[in-house]
Structure 1
Amino acid sequence: MSQTAAAISAKAPNPNTTAYKILFIIGLVHLLNDSIQAVIPAMFPILEKSMGLSFTQLGMIAFSLNIVSSILQPVIGMATDKKPRPFALPLGLTSTMFGVLGLAFASSFELVILSVLFIGLGSAVFHPEGSRVAYMAAGSRRGLAQSIYQVGGNSGQALAPLITALILVPLGQFGAIWFTFVAAIAVALLVYIATWYTRKLNFEKIAARTRQATTKINKGISKNVKMALILILFLIFARSWYISGMTNFYAFYAIDKYGLSIKEAQLFLFAFLVAGAFGTFFGGPLADRFGKKKIIFLSMIATAPLSVIIPFMPLPVAIFLLTISGFILMSSFSVTVVYAQELVPGKIGTMAGLTVGLAFGMGAVGSVGLGYLADMIGLPMMIIFVGFLPLLGILTVFLPSDRELAEWNS
């Protein structure tokens, strides 16, 4: 090792130390980013009335937002696994800022679609790189770190009903203009993160050079790993389809069934999303202690009986069960990301892109499909149908255990 490398290595932080400051900042930016994304489904009741859109068209808007992330997140993740680009983070949020500005002024269905594509592009850049930052800052507490990062995003999504009730109902579509300021704050924070990220990469390059002579890197992916990856992605898709049905269409169901106003229905949905954010936070530490596979299994199987009966319950019981189900189901959100990253070591961005990006993509496909299904068989029957999706969590039993993952990577 050269004297320069030795000097840099001596100043490097302990790799097992958790950088909480960075985790909280990237979690906050995740909250800001996803609160901007939450503006779009939050605007559905507004757009339905102002533009006369059908459920299928609303599903197409959600599809346009999420499919860009679905396609680009894994691609960006693979590219940055080969060559990380710290300052892509603030550039991505700049795209989001322009998208939300366009959304505030969009006068047609086509312009709404164009605006959400810019927002989707920003999300595609942010999520795999944001997950990498969380991984780099995690130290020895990967479950907790990913939970801090992901709870920011889920909290941002949970703000959608409040955004509708407090901003979009009184101000209408133009109320989205306020989120250009939110995006600007996120860009500023990401400039700071990118600077830390660059410094951290320099330390890791030095450490990698010292290990290169003695460490054998296995780049192949075995058949067992591939099958496990396909299964974990399928479970994520099933969870995403259920969440898509609830976040995009349950407000309409609550308005019809319980006679609620738009504002009341959004507050109803707020309980589901906030509970999900709390579940996301607790899921990671629980997985660190009890195992990732167990938390993934329990989160879906314990949700299933609640999700099946929610559509048939009176209002007070429904909101209680919806809150409990949101907490339980989302407790596996960050856990599935860490599981995939440990399933395929060294592919942090790629796995984040697949587990989070494709999850959004499948939610996008689900939005279109569920919107079409609601138009065909009626909204109540569609809501009843999605309640059975968490039952697919039984397939978790076929995933390799945490001990098997450790053995495969040893």
Structure 2
Amino acid sequence: MKRGQVAFLTGTHVVNDLYQGAVPALLPFLMSERGYSYSAVAGITLAATGLSSLTQPIFGMIVDRRQRNWLIPAGFLVAAAGIACAAMSSGYLLTWVCVAIAGIGISAYHPPATNAARAAGGPSQFAMSAFSVGGTVGASLAPPLVTLVVGGLGLSGGYLLAVPAIVVGLLWTLQKPWYRYRGYVMAAPIAATAEQRRGHDDWPAFGRLVLVTVCWSVPYVITMSMASPFLIHTLGSSKSVAALTLSLFTVAGAVGTLVGGALADRYGRRIAIRAGYLMAPPALLVLTLAQSTVWAALAIALVGLAMFLPFAPQVTLAQDYLPTRPGSASGVTLGLAMSVGGLASPLFGILADHVGPRGAIATAAAVLVVSTIAAFTLRDRVPPATVSEHERELLVAAER
């Protein structure tokens, strides 16, 4: 693992996802200063998340055809420009277009950056975990940054939001990226044929992994959207306590991502993936049965920890399943498959209106059971050039 490269790429991930988190952080200011309705800000959210999710696989296919590391700085610089212009623009249509451009920049960043992080991290799953947590950190820094800048100067001061991207962009130029991603050698299990070792794409296995990811994204989005209303309206918690509990979910997810990477390095990816999916559904059920804020907060923290244990191993496993299309693999698993949760959220909202948030969260737990079952059908794949004797023994034991 090239620690310096992983650290620098993690820093770029912090900056890129800072602008992803800036969209929801800007919405209250857009509503108060420009009088946008709930439906208007929902359209702005869709412009950012919808286009980002749909275009990410396209950028994945682009980087699979030819190395394009310049998309990494271009992605977060375009995202910064889009967010800054959206804050300063006048008129809803122009704001919508600027946010959509920011979403496209965010999606352009992820496939090449994920490939580069994998190349820099080598066989280490913890390296991918650290890179993934960079995105979580960036999203969590967005609300205080937006509040500091826009809350102090108004939307007209939105140009200052671009400063982090400009600084990291200059650092990128000075570094003149010291690595080149040349298609990190990924191949099939140890018992595979020589032809498979040269780059055999396992589409059935990748399809099962996409199913796992899709059924993961639904309860993740539902937990994020239902946790606060459940705490406030069902358990009688204050808004500040609900917000703090939601932050606890994010922090627990970051911890789970790092723990999952370390667990995968030591015991293999399937152990980390299975452990997460075995823990998550019971934790969600505990949340639905909680009668106090304390128990609900503990359950939410456990859900965040469990659901993110498999996160980094799933990303690298997707790339190993499609060794000739690593960009497409990360684009689908991180982009298109993840968007399903957002598309399903209105249905769960209707369900919550009829049966309450407990029923909606319990239904999401049932969806997560599908992920658990599918996760136990996944087989490991490792690049033979990077397999240590310890990893080889672990893989052979796992296949047995």
Provide closer, same or farther for how the CA distance between residues 278 and 397 of structure 1 changes in structure 2, counting only shifts above 3 A.
Answer: closer
Residue type at the aligned position of 2:162: T
- Aligned residue in 1 for 2:136: 154
- For 2:153 and 2:347, the matched residues in 1 are separated by 31
- For 1:64 and 1:373, the matched residues in 2 are separated by 25
Question: 1:364 offset after TM fit, Å?
Answer: 3.5
Residue type at the aligned position of 2:331: G
Q: TM-score, normalised by structure 2?
A: 0.80
Residue type at the aligned position of 2:68: R
Corresponding residue to 1:180 among 151, 156, 162: 162
Provide closer, same or farther for how the CA distance between residues 204 and 316 of structure 1 changes in structure 2, counting only shifts above 3 A.
Answer: closer
Identity over aligned residues, as a percent? Answer: 25
Higher relative contact order (CA 8 A, sep 6+): 1
- Contact 2:211–2:371 at 8 Å: present in 1 too? no
Corresponding residue to 1:400 among 371, 378, 393: 378
Provide closer, same or farther for how the CA distance between residues 159 and 325 of structure 1 changes in structure 2, counting only shifts above 3 A.
Answer: farther
Residue type at the aligned position of 2:133: V
Q: Which ranges in structure 1 are unaligned for 5 or more consecutive residues?
A: 1-17, 206-213
In the alignment, structure 1 residue 265 sits paired with structure 2 residue 223: no
Residue type at the aligned position of 1:234: L
Corresponding residue to 1:280 among 257, 271, 293: 257
1:48-197 equivalences in 2 (<5 Å): 51=35, 53-54=37-38, 59-105=42-88, 110-141=93-124, 143-159=125-141, 177-192=159-174, 195-197=177-179
Q: TM-score, normalised by structure 1?
A: 0.78
Provide closer, same or farther for how the CA distance between residues 153 and 101 of structure 1 changes in structure 2, counting only shifts above 3 A.
Answer: same
- Contact 2:280–2:303 at 8 Å: present in 1 too? yes
Which is worse superposed, 176-185 or 264-273? 176-185
- Contact 2:213–2:338 at 8 Å: present in 1 too? no
Deviations 1:298-329 (A, max 9, x none): 21220111112324441122122211211121
Q: Which ranges in structure 2 are unaligned for 5 or more consecutive residues?
A: 186-193, 385-394, 396-400
> In structure 2, the residue corresponding to 1:399 is in which secondary structure?
coil
- For 1:35 and 1:245, the matched residues in 2 are separated by 22
Question: 1:44 offset after TM fit, Å?
Answer: 5.0
Question: 1:84 offset after TM fit, Å?
Answer: 0.6
Residue type at the aligned position of 1:124: S
Residue type at the aligned position of 1:251: S
> In structure 1, the residue corresponding to 2:178 is in which secondary structure?
helix
Question: 1:331 offset after TM fit, Å?
Answer: 1.3
- For 1:26 and 1:324, the matched residues in 2 are separated by 28
- For 2:90 and 2:340, the matched residues in 1 are separated by 28
- For 2:269 and 2:237, the matched residues in 1 are separated by 41
- For 2:242 and 2:233, the matched residues in 1 are separated by 10
- For 1:233 and 1:291, the matched residues in 2 are separated by 20
Which is worse superposed, 170-179 or 34-43? 170-179
Deviations 1:67-96 (A, max 9, x none): 222222222122212211122221112210
Provide closer, same or farther for how the CA distance between residues 108 and 371 of structure 1 changes in structure 2, counting only shifts above 3 A.
Answer: farther
In the alignment, structure 1 residue 390 sits paired with structure 2 residue 368: yes
Aligned residues: CA RMSD: 3.5
> In structure 2, the residue corresponding to 1:401 is in which secondary structure?
coil
1:283-362 equivalences in 2 (<5 Å): 283-311=260-288, 312-362=290-340
> In structure 1, the residue corresponding to 2:324 is in which secondary structure?
coil
- For 1:357 and 1:391, the matched residues in 2 are separated by 22
> In structure 1, the residue corresponding to 2:19 is in which secondary structure?
helix
- Contact 2:81–2:162 at 8 Å: present in 1 too? yes
Provide closer, same or farther for how the CA distance between residues 164 and 264 of structure 1 changes in structure 2, counting only shifts above 3 A.
Answer: farther
Count residues with an aligned counterpart.
375
Residue type at the aligned position of 1:118: I
- For 1:49 and 1:386, the matched residues in 2 are separated by 33
Which is worse superposed, 60-69 or 319-328? 60-69
Residue type at the aligned position of 2:330: A
Provide closer, same or farther for how the CA distance between residues 388 and 217 of structure 1 changes in structure 2, counting only shifts above 3 A.
Answer: closer
> In structure 2, the residue corresponding to 1:195 is in which secondary structure?
coil
- Aligned residue in 2 for 1:8: none
- Contact 1:162–1:270 at 8 Å: present in 2 too? no
- For 2:350 and 2:151, the matched residues in 1 are separated by 26
